[in-house]
Amino acid sequence: MRENIFIYKIGLLFLILSPLYAGVEESGSSLTYWLILGFIVLALIFVLYRYSIIEEYSKNLQQNIDIIDKHVLISYSDKKGNITYVSEALCKLTGYTKEELIGKNHRIFKHPDTPRAVFKKLWQTITQGEVYKGELKNINKAGKAYWIEVTITPIINKYGEIEGYSAIRQDITDKKYAQKLSITDKLTQTYNRLHLENILAKETQRANRYGEIYSVIIIDIDKFKLINDNYGHDVGDKILISVVEILNSKIRQTDVLGRWGGEEFLIICPKSDMDQAYIVAQKLRVAIQEHEFPIIKKLTCSFGVSQYRSKDKNSDAVIKKADEALYISKENGRNMVSVKY
């Protein structure tokens, strides 16, 4: 197709120049005519050929730009984070139109759950002219959360100044969902035992290396078997879910809660000694005791608390001590908090 267009243009060129031939032939300067014509034709052939290459390159370039716009999650912003360009693919992911996003600050994508420290580190990195790479939880126009893996690169002008930023993203929502499933208890939607064991290993490693402390709280629902026997497993499942909701609402932001197994739960308290963990456990015990549950009305839990110490060597030792403390609570009438040093 490109070759046919080129031949057409050369033919058109000869038609344009042919009247010159008659005039030159009348003056008898045929050789001069052909020399001039040949030079002009060669020059124009070169120009037209270069033009056809540029035209084809521009066409291919525009096609590539269209592909990027439709399939790559990309945006550009000024140095204040105000959006100057956004791809159609990113608009599709976020639910906004280009018109709605151009001129808006990138904060429009920020999920309220994202810690401020994350964005502080991001801005410290890119304002120093460095590339930021990380995973961010964002929110779309409909209020639904999604996860991205993002690379933000400063755009430097000829004076060495930052004039804006480019951001290329990859949607990793499905990956994050799969990760969550692997570490989450299906019924209670809290962490499962495997994930708790991984966190315990990390806390133990940190304690051994840096001399930091942590404590654990094991919680067991009193007489839970009777609940299942008398009211059925459906009611028992609802009780487990309710207990998790109470625990989540009362623990500290740094504490980690998970289902240890059956009707037992584990709370890991980083950088907390036994006394601090004991206070947390008592607070939880009272909250559960005072709560009115559906159908069964009242419920109590027993607690065992222990602190990791250097002599323990591994997390199994601190869990064993917390289990022993829990046994003491059970043996002494339940609905109480016991500790084991």
Rounded CA-CA distance 319/217 in Å is 9
Query: What is the predicted pLDDT for the residue at 39?
Result: 65
In the chain, domain spans: 2-70, 72-171, 184-340
Domains 72-171 and 184-340 share a fold: no
How many beta carbons lie within 10 A of that of residue 232, not counting itself?
11
Query: What is the predicted pLDDT for the residue at 41?
Result: 62
Rounded CA-CA distance 199/115 in Å is 20
pTM of the model: 0.71
Q: Give the tokens for residue 301.
A: 């839990």
Q: How far, in Å, are 242, 256, 336 from residue 221 at the CA level?
A: 12, 18, 11
Query: What is the predicted pLDDT for the residue at 69?
Result: 78
**pLDDT string in tens for the chain (341-residue length):** 554 554 445 544 554 555 554 554 454 456 565 566 566 666 666 666 666 666 666 666 566 667 777 888 999 999 999 999 999 999 999 999 999 999 999 999 999 999 999 999 999 999 999 999 999 999 999 999 999 999 999 999 999 999 999 999 999 999 999 999 999 999 999 999 999 999 999 999 999 999 899 999 999 999 999 999 999 999 999 999 999 999 999 999 999 999 999 999 999 999 999 999 999 999 999 999 999 999 999 999 999 999 999 888 899 999 999 999 999 999 999 999 999 98
Rounded CA-CA distance 221/326 in Å is 11
Q: Which CATH number fits domain 72-171: 3.30.450.20, 3.40.50.720, 3.40.50.970, 3.40.50.1000?
A: 3.30.450.20
Please tell us whether the domain made up of 184-340 is placed in CATH 3.40.50.10320. Answer: no
**The one-letter amino acid at 104:** K
**DSSP 3-state helix, strand, coil percentages of the chain (rounded to 5)?**
55, 25, 20
Of the candidates 216, 334, 228, 227, the residue with the CA atom closest to the CA atom of residue 285:
334
Query: What is the predicted pLDDT for the residue at 310?
Result: 84
**The one-letter amino acid at 149:** E
Rounded CA-CA distance 266/219 in Å is 6
Query: What is the predicted pLDDT for the residue at 40?
Result: 65
Rounded CA-CA distance 287/190 in Å is 19
**The one-letter amino acid at 269:** C
Query: What is the predicted pLDDT for the residue at 7?
Result: 47
